[in-house]
């Protein structure tokens, strides 16, 4: 008997076709009040679940007793109850690597746009304010040669650092759980304390995953330690930053600006004070959102799901122990 899977949101026809060639697929391109019952009914029989922006709770798992694998179309998995899934022998797979360069492009776009005030000056032109030569009031600051401080030096952090060091001659400093000797040699990067980074960096760029220990890592105290000319960029997760403290720091001029792809609440509420701050560049969480990369992420998720449901070890299990448990259960 074919295994059953539930597919949620953003799947191209080619990926759906691959899944339908292997499994019985219940597909929910959109989830809303109208089809929630049908979604839960499908989950009650599902062996696999694949999609982006999945909301997986212990209650949902209770209603999906046959579930073996969840394949998220994202690298981040802070929104999953990983321990609970492991306890139940459910493998969680993510999509690392294929989005690294694209997300780093987004990070650098934010650095450039914020430091050189690109959206603000675009509005200046559109609103007919460009009547004479631009004055100092419209000047930005240099990006090249400035010190880039990476909070987190994983795959995406390294890709942003590479752009800064090799493309813009930026000295790179970083705080990370462990130093990266190969990167130090390649980029002349220097591992330093979090405090030293905050004090020295002209651009502070955050790429750490959201965990219990990184929640509100960038708090009021951290903003106070940054240079008043510093630009803060977040392409990680909103809750890594105390957003209220960041807003205060921006309003008081404790830092010069911010480029943000992620927020504590997404979509950003229309009441957010960030919307009124011209020195802030806002993006709607598009770190990996290009045609090429989203397609590669979906393909990787399909491959992970297919392998795991066929009893083979998927390459991107975040809780590989759960896979061993599933295989052992199947053998019993
Ligand atoms: C996702 C991301 O598209 O991969 C991640 O962790 O942040 C983005 O690439 C987003 O999480 C929605 O699924």
- The CATH number of the domain holding residue 104 is 3.40.50.720
Same domain assignment for residues 169 and 244: yes
Q: What's the average model confidence in pLDDT over 279-308?
A: 98
Q: Which atom of ligand 1 is nearest to the CA of 76?
A: 6
Same domain, 261 and 197: yes
pTM: 0.95
Whether residue 53 has its Cβ less than 6 Å from ligand 1? yes
Angle at 76 between CA 16 and CA 195, to 5 degrees: 160
Distance 294 CA to ligand 1 centre (A): 9
Instruction: Based on the fold, state whether residues 76 and 105 are members of the same structural domain.
Output: no
Residue 290 structure tokens: 């290009």
Q: Is residue 183 domain-shared with residue 200, that is, in the same domain? A: yes
Cβ pair 327, 311 in contact under 8 A: yes
Q: Count structural domains, the chain.
A: 2
- Mean pLDDT value across residues 10-27: 96
Same domain, 242 and 104: yes
pLDDT for residue 323: 77
Ligand 1 geometric centre to CA of 289 (Å): 8
Give yes or no: residues 218 and 136 share one domain. Answer: yes
Whether 76 and 32 share a structural domain = yes
136 assigned to active site: no
Cα–Cα distance measured from residue 288 to residue 242, given in angstroms and rounded to the nearest whole number: 23
Predicted confidence band of residue 236 (pLDDT cuts 50, 70, 90): very high
Above 80 in pLDDT, residue 1?
no
Q: Phi, psi (5° rounding) for residue 241?
A: -115, 140
pLDDT digits (tens, 9 = 90+) for 80-132: 999 999 999 999 999 999 999 999 999 999 999 999 999 999 999 999 999 99
pLDDT at 332: 40
Asked whether residue 329 carries a pLDDT value surpassing 60, the answer given is: no
With a cut of 80, say whether residue 326 has pLDDT above it: no
The band of 327, judged by pLDDT with boundaries at 50, 70 and 90, is low
In terms of domains, do 149 and 237 share one? Answer: yes
Are residue 53 and residue 198 in the same domain, yes or no? no
Q: What confidence score (pLDDT) does residue 75 get?
A: 98
Over the stretch 119-176, which tens digit does the pLDDT of each residue have?
Answer: 999 999 999 999 999 999 999 999 999 999 999 999 999 999 999 999 999 999 999 9
Q: Check pocket membership of 234 for ligand 1, CB cut-off 6 A.
A: no
303 and 271 in a common domain: no
CA distances from 243 to 218, 240, 286 (A): 9, 9, 19
Average pLDDT over residues 259-283: 98
Q: Is 237 a catalytic residue?
A: yes
pLDDT at 331: 36
- Domain carrying residue 183: 100-282
Give, using CA atoms, the residue closest to atom 6 of ligand 1.
76
Residues 6+ apart with CB under 8 A from 266: 238, 284, 285
Specify whether 176 is located in the same domain as 262. Answer: yes
- Any catalytic annotation for residue 24? no
Residue listed under structure tokens 């949101």: 9
Cα separation of 202 and 64, whole Å?
Answer: 49
CA angle in degrees (0–180, nearest 5) for 81-210-250: 140
């Amino acid at each position: 008997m074919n295994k059953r899977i539930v597919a949620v949101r953003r799947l191209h026809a080619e990926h759906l076709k691959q899944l339908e060639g292997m499994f019985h697929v219940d597909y929910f391109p959109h989830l809303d009040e109208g089809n929630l019952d049908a979604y839960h009914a499908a989950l009650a029989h599902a062996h696999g679940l694949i999609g982006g922006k999945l909301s997986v709770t212990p209650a949902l798992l209770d209603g999906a007793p046959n579930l073996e694998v969840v394949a998220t179309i994202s690298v981040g998995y802070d929104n999953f109850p990983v321990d609970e899934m492991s306890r139940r022998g459910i493998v969680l797979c993510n999509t690392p690597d294929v989005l690294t360069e694209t997300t780093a492009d987004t990070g650098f776009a934010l650095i450039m746009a914020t430091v050189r005030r690109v959206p603000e000056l675009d509005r200046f032109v559109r609103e007919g304010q460009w009547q004479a030569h631009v004055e100092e009031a419209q000047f930005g600051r240099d990006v090249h040669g400035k010190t880039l401080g990476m909070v987190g030096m994983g795959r995406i952090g390294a890709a942003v650092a590479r752009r800064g060091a090799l493309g813009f001659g930026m000295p790179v400093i970083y705080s990370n759980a462990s130093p990266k000797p190969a990167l130090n040699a390649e980029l002349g990067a220097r591992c330093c304390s979090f405090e030293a980074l905050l004090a020295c960096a002209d651009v502070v760029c955050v790429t750490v995953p959201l965990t219990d220990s990184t929640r509100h890592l960038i708090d009021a105290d951290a903003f106070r330690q940054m240079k008043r000319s510093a630009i803060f960029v977040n392409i990680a997760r909103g809750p890594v930053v105390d957003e209220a403290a960041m807003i205060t720091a921006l309003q008081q001029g404790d830092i010069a600006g911010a480029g943000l792809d992620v927020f504590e609440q997404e979509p950003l509420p229309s009441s957010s004070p960030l919307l009124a701050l011209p020195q802030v560049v806002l993006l709607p969480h598009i770190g990996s959102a290009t045609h090429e990369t989203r397609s590669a992420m979906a393909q990787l998720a399909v491959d992970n799901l297919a392998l795991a449901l066929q009893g083979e070890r998927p390459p991107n299990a975040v809780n590989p122990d759960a896979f061993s448990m599933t295989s052992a259960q199947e053998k019993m």
